[in-house]
Amino acid sequence: MMERYINEHNKTVYRGVTAETEFSSDLFYMPEYQGIEDDESFAFHSEMGSLTVLDRMTGFGWRDVETGYRSPDGKFWLASGSIDVRRSGCKTVGEAIEWVKSRANNCVGV
């Protein structure tokens, strides 16, 4: 059974998450620290790793949405170009992780 808690770093984290756990945009929260004023970030942390979404103004003058996945062993995948896993239609956490990995175009398992 999935359980939500606040960890020692004041992050919302879920335990009991598996690849088969139902995926939903409701799992994401908006971290307190948002960085640049017009940027919005959202995060989902669990023992399966972290999925993050950043809606930001690029240095080129247009907005972009990027989704990142950091695995429990510290590897990172980043997909940019209006890629938002929350709107992917994925049904499970495992499917959402693979969706991000398959679209990664900046960082690929580094």
Q: What are the domain boundaries of the chain? A: 3-108
Cβ contact 69:101 at 8 Å: yes
Question: Who contacts 100 (Cβ-Cβ below 8 Å, separation ≥6)?
Answer: 51, 67, 68, 69, 77, 79, 83, 85
**CA nearest 20: which of 102, 86, 90?**
90
Q: What is the Cα–Cα distance from 54 to 28, expressed in whole angstroms?
A: 12
Q: Give 3-26 pLDDT, tens digit per residue.
A: 999 999 889 999 999 999 999 999
* Joined tokens for residue 60: 């080129």
Q: What would the pLDDT profile of 39-87 be if each residue is shown by its tens digit?
A: 899 999 999 999 999 999 888 888 999 999 999 999 999 999 999 999 9
DSSP three-state, residue 10: coil
